[in-house]
Amino acid sequence: MLASALVNENELYSAIGEDGFERLVAAFYRQIPGDDVLGPMYRGRDLAAAEHRLREFLIFRFGGPERYIELRGHPRLRARHAPFLVDQTARDRWLQLMGNALVEAQLPAEAEQMLRAFFESTGTFLINRQ
Ligand code: HEM
């Protein structure tokens, strides 16, 4: 078995820090305005604020400071995505853009694998339309 430097999800924050999450989420959101599936969902929304919410959520979720909770309360991610049409196409595109962002951010391999697995399962959980 391969030894892993990361024992559990709560240690991801100390492994990649604010900077790792910052670079990842910035690389993801940079692709949003030009995306034909996801771009239209954000029309009229404040992209910088959306980027901030996702970054703070991930920092909280992976063992960092709980500023997301102070800002937004319990995540309630399914309820918060209910206004948006999240079908298989949207889910797959979200994962594709996040996959690009993961490549760009060049995080340690264990961190990247852990985040990929989390995004894939959460993306599936958030599907709310056939
Ligand atoms: C499956 C495809 C997905 C679509 C189409 C989608 C779309 C959106 C949209 C349009 C917003 C509103 C932006 C805003 O905050 O103003 C949003 C918010 C958010 N999304 Fe997603 N999302 C998806 C998957 C995910 C995944 C996998 C995660 C988990 C990492 C996630 C986490 C969040 C968070 C934390 C917010 C902010 C919630 C809040 O505090 O209001 N989303 N999403």
pLDDT given for residue 8 in this prediction:
85
Please report the pLDDT score of residue 3 as a whole number.
Answer: 47
Residue 90 Cβ < 6 Å to ligand 1: yes
What mean pLDDT comes out for the span 96-104? 98
Ligand 1 pocket test, pick from 31, 38, 53 with the greatest ligand atom count within 8 Å of Cβ, gives 53
CA-to-CA separations, 76 to 7, 69, 80, 108, 118, in angstroms, rounded: 26, 11, 6, 29, 16
91 touches 130 (CB < 8 A): no
Query: Which of the four pLDDT bands, split at 50, 70 and 90, describes residue 32?
Result: very high
Q: What is the pLDDT of residue 7?
A: 63
**How confident is the model at residue 6, as a pLDDT?**
62
2-6, 35-39, 124-128: segment of lowest average pLDDT: 2-6
The string of DSSP letters for 25-58 reads HHHHHTTSTT-TTTGGGGTTS-HHHHHHHHHHHH
What distance in Å separates the CA atoms of residue 114 and residue 85, rounded to the nearest whole number?
A: 26
Instruction: Give the residue, 12 or 7, on which the prediction is more confident.
Output: 12
Q: For all residues of the chain together, what is the average pLDDT?
A: 95
Find out whether the beta carbon of 80 lies less than 6 Å from any atom of ligand 1.
yes
φ, ψ at 16 (rounded to 5°): -115, -15
| DSSP secondary structure letters along 64-130 | S--HHHHHHSS--HHHHHTTS---HHHHHHHHHHHHHHHHHHT--HHHHHHHHHHHHHHHHHT----
pLDDT tens by residue, 89-98 = 999 999 999 9
The answer to whether the CB of 78 is under 6 A from ligand 1 is no
Residue nearest to atom 17 of ligand 1 (CA): 81
Protein residue whose Cα sits closest to atom 20 of ligand 1: 54
pLDDT at 20: 98
Superfamily of domain 15-125: Globins (1.10.490.10)
* pLDDT at residue 51, as a whole number: 98
